[in-house]
Amino acid sequence: MSIKVRYFASLKERVGRSEERVTIAEPITAKALWRQCVPELSPPEQILVAINLDYADWDSLVKEGDEVAFFPPVTGG
Amino acid sequence: MLIKISAESFDPWSEVRDYQDESGQMAGKFGATSLFVGTMRDFNEGDDVAGMILEHYPGMTERALEKIVREAVERWPVIDTLVVHRVGEIGPGEPIVLVAVWTSHRGDAFDASRYIMEALKSKAPFWKKEVLKGRGERWVAHNTDGYLKTE
């Protein structure tokens, strides 16, 4: 199963990439996906998760074809 | 209901006038218009700020803003709304965000406008990076609370 993972803002700079494609064997939680993609960092508490352009939880399931984004608290406006 | 993400500088006053004129059917229908304009400052947390880079998540930004406006329309009797938000490189004095709300009565215009603005600040995926005068760049870590008095 192929997943698109995206990183934004300060997190993008910290992990050193803006997006990547990862392969998973079966649906996994966003937290497990993070551990697979960014093993060097435990999931920072303030980091937000979105799946397919909607906010999600660390426990939400990620499946084939999903786009998952990790990003810091938003600061627009 | 219009939502615009703009990579170019925009004039909030003409945006509002043009939108109001365009939807000419609004004339005579509304009694109140509230406008909120957020503008870039040249200072933050004691430092001189030369510019700002606004990053966003294309696709999710529009979706989040549509949801926020929809929530406001469900909660207050809103006739129309216009939201414009800048992205990219911004200089001091340039507008960052415009929220305009048209209603029959002023209370709903104020309340819906504030709701949209506060929800935008906490939910819409935008991130500000400040370019400091002679001291590099830094990400803005969090927003100030719109409901608290600031010094």
Per the CB < 8 A criterion, the answer to whether A21 and A2 are in contact is yes
Q: Are B110 and B118 in contact (CB under 8 A)?
A: no
pLDDT at B21: 83
Q: What ipTM did this prediction achieve?
A: 0.95
> CB within 8 A of A65, min separation 6: which ones?
A1, A2, A3
Note whether B27 contacts A: Cβ–Cβ < 8 A: no
Q: How far is B137 from chain A (nearest CA, A)?
A: 11
Q: Measure B28 CA to nearest chain A CA, in Å.
A: 31
Between CA B132 and CA B142, with CA B136 as vertex, the angle to 5 degrees is 65
pTM over 0.80: yes
Q: Do A76 and B127 touch (CB under 8 A)?
A: yes
As a whole number, mean pLDDT of residues A4-12 equals 97
A6: pLDDT strictly greater than 50: yes
Per-residue model confidence as pLDDT tens digits over B95-113? 999 999 999 999 999 999 9
Residue of B nearest to A9 (CA): B127
Q: What pLDDT is stored for residue B148 in this prediction?
A: 61
Phi, psi for residue B63 in degrees, rounded to 5:
-60, -45
pLDDT digits (tens, 9 = 90+) for A25-56: 999 999 999 999 999 998 888 999 999 999 99
